[in-house]
Amino acid sequence: MAATTPGRELAARSLLAKLALWWPAVALLATTLAYLAVYILIAPATGRSAGVLISLPVIVSAWFYGWPGSALAMAIFLPINMALAHVMSPSLPLRDAISVADAPGIVVAWAVGIVVGRWRDVERMRNVASSARVTAEAESRAMNRFLATMNHELRTPLNSILGFSQLLAHQGADSLTEKQLRQLRHIQSSGLHMLGLISEILDLSKIAGGQMEVDVTRLELGPLLEESVAKMRPLADDKSLRLTLDAGTEVWVQSDRRRLFQVLLNLLSNAIKFTAPGGEVRVTMRRVGEIAEVSVADTGIGIAPEDQERIFEEFVQVEPHTNAGLQGTGLGLAMSRRLLALMGSSIRLSSTPEEGSVFTIAIPVARSRSLVLVDPEGGLAARLGQSSYTVFLGSGVHDAADLASEHRPAAVILGEAVGREDERWIRDFLRRSQATATIPILARAADRSSLLREIADAIRID
């Protein structure tokens, strides 16, 4: 008896599901029959077609199918209404089956159907959004549990294997043979590779699940590039590659330092990996307007045009047969593109097979939050000191020019007491240098409530 209960419950659920699918059609059929019955009863008494009765099927159609259902019901039932009027009164011409007297009823039916249909459409959209939100929250919780499990269950044994292999290699350096030491190094290399693969999969899962957080701050790009190149130089030296850096002028950007460092290491690792011994890897930086571009160029195998978009997909590697000995996961570039997108940056590729590749990262330049102020009367310093700007005071325009060259401020502010000759001099001085040519100058600034807005307008900060 107990064994048949689940079967009956399943059959009941199946029947209810089928009824739910047929319910709108059944309700519309019942409404149509009710419409016909009521019409037959009312029409002889009124002597007219009683067009307001159309509202019955129109509202039901709107309830189940939204405002398109109400419009379709109106288009269907108006001819039916006319035919019924003609049947009830054969002497009445078909063209006269609906008169001006029916117009208010038909308009009411139409209006009510549209309102009900629109309301039901809004309700459906709200239900769909609510269901999607609940589903997304459940998936997010499942993703968090998955990441925690993966982090613990995979990293813990791998870290143990790596730790014991390093300990064995250290303590047994004198007693182990060269072959055994080489096998230990293989264990360590494979373990590190697997650990990196797990980290990349976890990072991609976090990004896909909206769990990845980035800390975008203002940072100087040059030192980060120097650190990246220094970290990868031993790998380049092992392959006799020439690794060079041209950092250009000082540039500050808006980015997450740790994640940008991760992207740079990935690009440098790929460039070194796919460049033959004796080749070259070049890292260059330049500023283009409000964008800082970092290019990693190599003289490696290059990438065919048809593969230049595919390589940014997960688990995709080009030249799988000719470069089977090159170890990789096919995740680095996919994760790099997604991380850069999270930080408001982008990446592009230019490559020629057998000649090399150039990966270029575009990073937004950070706006300076400092000002250089020349105000002999001293009235502006107090007002600007209460703002979020860092203010550097210059005793005169020559001192201000030196401060502007050193700090690259958002703007140079000249008080009302600064003469036009001094204003022309500092404008000419700043224009002579590429580093300071774009710094705006706000002249004849006064101690008024609109000062900060004037400064914001001058440096185009919202």
Interval 177-193: pLDDT, tens = 888 888 888 888 778 77
Pick 460 or 161 by higher pLDDT. 161
The mean pLDDT of 23-50, rounded to a whole number, is: 59
Higher pLDDT, 131 or 400: 400
Question: Contact, 218 vs 252, CB < 8 A?
Answer: yes
pLDDT, residue 324, reads 43
For residues 408 and 403, give the distance between their C-alpha atoms in angstroms, rounded to a whole number.
8
**Is the pLDDT confidence value at 462 over 50?**
no
User: What confidence score (pLDDT) does residue 1 get?
Assistant: 43
Query: Secondary structure of the chain in the HEC alphabet?
Result: CCCHHHHHHHHHHHHHHHHHHHHHHHHHHHHHHHHHHHHHHHHHHHCCCCHHHHHHHHHHHHHHHHHHHHHHHHHHHHHHHHHHHHHHCCCCCHHHCCCHHHHHHHHHHHHHHHHHHHHHHHHHHHHHHHHHHHHHHHHHHHHHHHHHHHHHHHHHHHHHHHHHHHHHHHHCCCCCCHHHHHHHHHHHHHHHHHHHHHHHHHHHHHHHCCCCCCCCEEEEHHHHHHHHHHHHHHHHHHCCCEEEEECCCCCEEEECHHHHHHHHHHHHHHHHHCCCCCCEEEEEEEEECCEEEEEEEECCCCCCHHHCCHHHCCCCCCCCCCCCCCCCCCCHHHHHHHHHHHCCCEEEEEEECCCEEEEEEEEEECCCCEEEEECCCCCHHHHHHCCCCEEEECCCHHHHHHHHHHHCCCEEEEECCCCHHHHHHHHHHHHHCCCCCCCCEEEEECCCCCHHHHHHHHHCCC
Average pLDDT, the chain: 77
Task: Count Cα atoms within 13 angstroms, Cβ side, for 340.
Answer: 24
Q: What is the pLDDT of residue 99?
A: 54
pLDDT band for 162, please (50, 70, 90 cuts): confident
**Which CATH code is given to the segment(s) 370-459?**
3.40.50.2300
Domain regions of the chain by residue span: 13-212, 219-364, 370-459
Q: Do the Cβ atoms of 265 and 301 come closer than 8 Å?
A: no
- Judge whether residue 308 has pLDDT over 90: no
Classify residue 283 by burial, with Cβ atoms within 10 Å: 0-12, 13-18, 19+.
Answer: buried
- Report whether pLDDT(397) > 80: yes
Q: What does the pLDDT average to over 299-320?
A: 80
In the CATH scheme, what architecture does the domain 219-364 have? 2-Layer Sandwich (3.30)
Q: Which of 344, 301, 340, 346 is nearest to 321 (CA)?
A: 301
Domain 219-364 matches domain 370-459 at the CATH topology level: no
User: What per-residue confidence (pLDDT) applies to 37?
Assistant: 64
Q: What is the pLDDT of residue 399?
A: 92
Task: Tell me which range, 11-20, 29-38, 196-205, 433-442, is most confidently predicted by mean pLDDT.
Answer: 433-442
Q: What is the mean pLDDT of residues 198-223?
A: 77
pLDDT value of residue 227: 93
| pLDDT winner (highest mean) among 111-115, 177-181, 278-282, 330-334 | 278-282
